[in-house]
Chain A
Amino acid sequence: MLPPDKLLPETQPVYVQSWIYVFGVATLAALLFVIASGLLLTLMGPAWYHVSSKGHFVNSVHLWSVELFFVFMVVHLWGKFWMAAWRGRRAMTWITGVVSFLTSIGTAFTGYLVQTNFDSQWISSEAKDGLNSVGIGAWFNVTNFGQMLLFHVALLPLVVGFLVAWHIVLVRKRGVVPPLEAQETGAQL
């Protein structure tokens, strides 16, 4: 799909010189902690963390990695917006990024529904009205714990994982977008 030196090059264009560039990889790192802590929670089932201090700690790791995931993702998003990073056949990179963001919101939301606590009761009772009002609730039933659990631990993570992988491959394939108003100069020709 991509030659190794393009997937993991040893150099970057000279303009890749800002802290803003680290937030993409920070988002990815946070996502790995989200997935790892989520997988640990699946080992013992959705109610384990209520009764085990180890489970509660893993649950805390899951929460805070999600919070950091969104923090880093938003900084990354703002950076890419102000760099107009969709230029030069990079629109699909932007689109896969935004769709990952929106899908992550949905995934986090289903996580709140499967906490099996007061949060889940209230959030599902509120959210059902919004989803029902546009007909989605008839198929995506937020008060159906089993359905939401499977969405949260299987379907949506697969979609997010696929989108993120696609996004990263596109970034590597197209390269980092050059600065706005970059000129044709001898150095580039």
Chain B
Amino acid sequence: MSVHQLLAVGLDGPAHYFTWGPIQISLANLVVIAIIVILFVLAIVLPFPKSKSRP
């Protein structure tokens, strides 16, 4: 049994789709897009560690 078989989380089943009007999106794609938005928001909101300034 390979490493990934031990750890594998089932993405091999049928996908869940959301439909809003003309928009249809899979859960997996929605998660990927949500991660992009969250990363962007965190990147501009979270303080960046300070380093020494040089004149």
Contact = CB atoms under 8 A, between A and B. Distances in A.
A joins B in a complex: yes
B25 interface: no
B36 A20 contact: no
B35 interface: yes
Given A17-B48, A18-B48, A75 B3 contact: no
A56 B5 CA distance: 11
Does more than half of chain A's interface fall in helix, strand or loop, or is it mixed? helix
Nearest to A52: B2
B42 A19 contact: yes
A71 B35 contact: yes
Contacts of B27: none
Contact of A71 (B4, B39, B50): B39
For A17, A21, A23, A54, the residue with the greatest tally of chain B CB atoms inside 10 Å of its CB is: A17
A185 to B, nearest CB: 13
Interface residues of B, number: 17
Does more than half of chain B's interface fall in helix, strand or loop, or is it mixed? helix
A4 B15 CA distance: 50
A134 B29 CA distance: 29
A20 B44 contact: yes
A56 B2 CA distance: 10
Interface in B8-55: 32, 35-36, 39-40, 42-44, 46, 48, 50, 53-54
A78 B32 contact: no
B34 to A, nearest CB: 11
A181 B40 CA distance: 22
B38 to A, nearest CB: 10
Given A14-B53, A19-B48, A53 B40 contact: no
B44 A19 contact: yes
Contacts of A23: 39, 43
A26 B54 CA distance: 26
Contacts of B54: 11
Given A53-B2, A75-B43, 8 more contacts: A11-B54, A17-B48, A19-B44, A19-B46, A23-B43, A53-B4, A78-B40, A79-B43
